[in-house]
Structure 1
């Protein structure tokens, strides 16, 4: 089935909010297992030193990335997160450690409280975990419609893994993909690892 981004945004926001707490926990646990397998497979052939992740908006029933983050730290991989600059419509990237102080922005996204630490250049990132509402079999995604992640992903290295995390399976095709949309290299769901 083919759909527009606007149609998918409405239906998948509703689908996600309709998940019970038990079902959300079940899907997150399956995603964690799939993510661990994926990372261990990738590190057999490539160096994975820095992973950029999103932090979940709890009220939106987003994928819970915290178990993934804690596993990465135990696995010896550093993590980074973003702060949204609404004046420039860009994401600024900073280290995420166990000591990072977080505060929610106006959209409910946890962000680090910035002191004086330098930003991380996107070209230093080996993998980006990308939030999404829906995705298709070609690796295109539907986010919240602001374009922050497409601008960010366009500035990453060509060999950077761009990995969508989805609580639902793929749709067949998103019909209104634009030239500025950056397709994902992989997408992980509770039951599948999808490659573009």
Structure 2
């Protein structure tokens, strides 16, 4: 049985084995894959997480800087721990960022943007399976957020690791990702577990 709590523990531990250099190399490869296969058009909006360094997350700044060069708008989340919701704000090269108490870079005085204007979301995760289900940090922020998106919005996970076969305790509120980008492959879930 592959349960979320066990996978969360296992993949958190796995991630801690990566060196800073390995994460940088993987992040650059993920960025190149995203821009090659999912390149957004100028004027579109891509929502991304910004990396929490102490969690050894994928460095999404490689993607953000490229999007700015291509005139694509970049939005980032600000979490509300009272109700586990997120607000979303546009950032530019001039946006001032400050660390939250969890070490998440958050924009100061940025322009808010509604979910209805977001074209693509880059979703953080610890693990994912062949059906496009993900294991996050367990608070449900992203499940709530993804449920508010327009149907046409792309939901793309970013992962350092390949998928597990199946997550056994998926709930009805867990949304399926459209694809997950790893350093080596893009896993697409539009037709069940097909691999691209």
RMSD: 1.5
Q: 2-side partners of 1:139 and 1:127: how far apart?
A: 16
Could you list the structure 1 runs, at least 4 aligned residues long, displaced by more than 3 angstroms after superposition: none
Q: 2-side partners of 1:85 and 1:146: how far apart?
A: 11
Q: Which residue of 2 aligns with 1:85?
A: 80
Question: Cα offset for 1:84?
Answer: 0.8
Q: 1-side partners of 2:46 and 2:19: how far apart?
A: 29
Q: Which residue of 1 aligns with 2:151?
A: 158
Name the TM-score, length of structure 2 as normaliser: 0.92
Query: Any idea what SS the aligned residue of 1:35 has?
Result: helix
Q: Which is bigger in relative contact order (C-alpha 8 A, separation at least 6)?
A: 1
List runs of 5+ in structure 2 lacking aligned partners. 190-196
Query: Any idea what SS the aligned residue of 1:112 has?
Result: strand
Q: Which residue of 2 aligns with 1:186?
A: 179
Q: Give the length in aligned residue pairs.
A: 189
Name the TM-score, length of structure 1 as normaliser: 0.92
Deviations 1:49-89 (A, max 9, x none): 00000000001110000010001111121000011112232
Question: Cα offset for 1:118?
Answer: 5.1
Q: Is the 8 A contact 1:131 1:143 kept in 2?
A: yes
Query: Any idea what SS the aligned residue of 1:3 has?
Result: coil
Question: Cα offset for 1:125?
Answer: 0.3
Q: 2-side partners of 1:91 and 1:167: how far apart?
A: 24
